[in-house]
Homo-oligomer: A and B are copies of this chain.
Amino acid sequence: MALNRREFTQLTTAALVSQLLPNLNAQSSTQPLGYAMVGLGRISMGHFMPGLKDAKQSKLTGLVSGHRDKAEKNAAEYGVPTSAIYSYENFDSIRDNKAIDAVYIALPNSMHAEYTIRAAKAGKHVLCEKPMATSVDDCKAMIAACRDNNVKLMIAYRCQLEPTNLRAIQMIRDGMLGSVQAIESANGFNIGPDWRLDKKLAGGGPLMDVGVYSLNACRYLTGEEPQVISAYSSVIDKDGRFSSVEENVGWTMKFPSGIVASCNTTYGGQMNGYFRVHGAKGSIDMDSAFGYQGQHLTAQIGRDNRIDEPSTARDPSQFTRQADYFADCVRNNKEPKMDGQEGLRDIQYMAEIYKMAGVAF
């Protein structure tokens, strides 16, 4: 493609500005990032969209749903014009809506890849719920599509932005625990009827859905990648729920430094998400750790230093923070810390856990 002089000058200047002065973008754009919500389920309507009401750098500008009625009702509530309501059939025409900068994908896991790639091709940035996808290949295709279309991709690991989790990470990095030796973590619940019990939609059971929090936590707490993984899986309740996905997974990981981590997840039991980190000088007990609110960090440093820090933040503040963090990444051309590679790694480790547990993935 040949460029005339004026086009070339514009391109060069734009590239230079973008490279050398990325913050100019932010200063020149005071507009909040416009999100189109893709999928109107529990997490969308109950958490993400309410979170946008308090957002400073983000707002809802579009809706994608198979249910026109539900979409119109939400559009009215959030001040989204009906012209910005899309179906899954005409989804790709979001390309023509300049008010939509990004999409938030909250569809069943197996649909994450398709809609991430279609959004990228429509020139829209992508915030995608976890787990990133239901196969390693899908994750790689998502990363490639976002790279090729020059849009940002972030996986919605909200705990990596949550202040109490960040405080735990900082305590570890600051050496307050001394050398970390071991971590336990668990996350699960007793599931009722749910699309997540259908492997075609979910890709897997509790490991994919809630166990991924423990897996991801072990990685962000250690700052390391697991070197070896072993695992077992089981179905105890023969009540029809677990005909296509597992009920329980227990797994153990060893990290390069020698840290050992032992984790459980379940769809069949009461299991409030938590982690415990044991170091030479102290330990952290975060219980609960992964909820939409209610994080509670306690720590014992040596004999005498007892730390007790319950979070007072209320849902949907984690969603507000997440939306604004991604908006900042987009506006200031920063790579999100929870990027496609981060999501891909968890899928790779979960594939390994399933393999070790003898579960098809």
**Stretch from A86-94, A129-137, A275-283, A343-351 that touches the partner:** A275-283
CA distance in complex: A276, B269 (Å): 12
- Are B248 and A250 in touch, CB under 8 angstroms? no
Q: Is A77 an interface residue (CB 8 A)?
A: no
Shortest C-beta distance, A257 to chain B (Å), equals: 6
Query: Which residues of the partner chain B approach A183 to less than 8 Å between Cβ atoms?
Result: 264
Q: Mark A230-270, 1 if CB is under 8 A from B, else 0.
A: 11111111000000000111111110011111111110111
Question: Which of B236, B261, B263, B271 has a CB less than 8 Å from the CB of A259?
Answer: B236
Within 8 A of B (CB), among A51-89: none
Within 8 A of B (CB), among A279-326: 279-283, 300
- Are A257 and B283 in touch, CB under 8 angstroms? no
Query: Which residues of the partner chain B approach A177 to less than 8 Å between Cβ atoms?
Result: 269-270
**Stretch from A22-30, A110-118, A184-192, A332-340 that touches the partner:** A184-192
Interface of A is mostly: strand
- Are A271 and B261 in touch, CB under 8 angstroms? no
- Are A181 and B276 in touch, CB under 8 angstroms? no
CA distance in complex: A315, B282 (Å): 25
- Are B250 and A252 in touch, CB under 8 angstroms? yes
Residue of B nearest to A284 (CB): B270
CA distance in complex: A261, B182 (Å): 16
Q: Is A180 an interface residue (CB 8 A)?
A: yes
- Are B234 and A190 in touch, CB under 8 angstroms? no
Shortest C-beta distance, A357 to chain B (Å), equals: 9
- Are A236 and B250 in touch, CB under 8 angstroms? no
CA distance in complex: A247, B234 (Å): 30
Given A188-B182, A236-B179, decide whether A270 and B264 contact each other with a Cβ distance below 8 A.
Answer: no
- Are B262 and A234 in touch, CB under 8 angstroms? no
Q: Is A341 an interface residue (CB 8 A)?
A: no
- Are A278 and B271 in touch, CB under 8 angstroms? yes
Query: Which residues of the partner chain B approach A251 to less than 8 Å between Cβ atoms?
Result: 252, 262
Q: Mark A152-188, 1 if CB is under 8 A from B, else 0.
A: 0000000000000000000000000111111110101
Q: Is A228 an interface residue (CB 8 A)?
A: yes
Q: Is A272 an interface residue (CB 8 A)?
A: yes
Shortest C-beta distance, A122 to chain B (Å), equals: 43
Shortest C-beta distance, A347 to chain B (Å), equals: 21
- Are B266 and A236 in touch, CB under 8 angstroms? no
- Are B231 and A252 in touch, CB under 8 angstroms? yes
Shortest C-beta distance, A176 to chain B (Å), equals: 11
Among A181, A251, A261: residue with most chain B CB under 10 A: A181
Known: A177-B270, A184-B262, A272-B300. 5 other contacts (CB 8 A): A181-B266, A182-B188, A183-B264, A184-B264, A250-B261
**Among all A-B residue pairs, the 7 with the closest Cβ atoms:** A250-B260, A234-B258, A262-B262, A230-B230, A181-B269, A269-B278, A232-B254
- A residues with a Cβ closer than 8 A to B are 177-184, 186, 188, 190, 228, 230-237, 247-254, 257-266, 268-272, 276, 278-283, 300, 356
7 A–B contacts, CB within 8 A, in A order: A180-B269, A181-B269, A182-B266, A230-B230, A234-B258, A236-B259, A270-B281
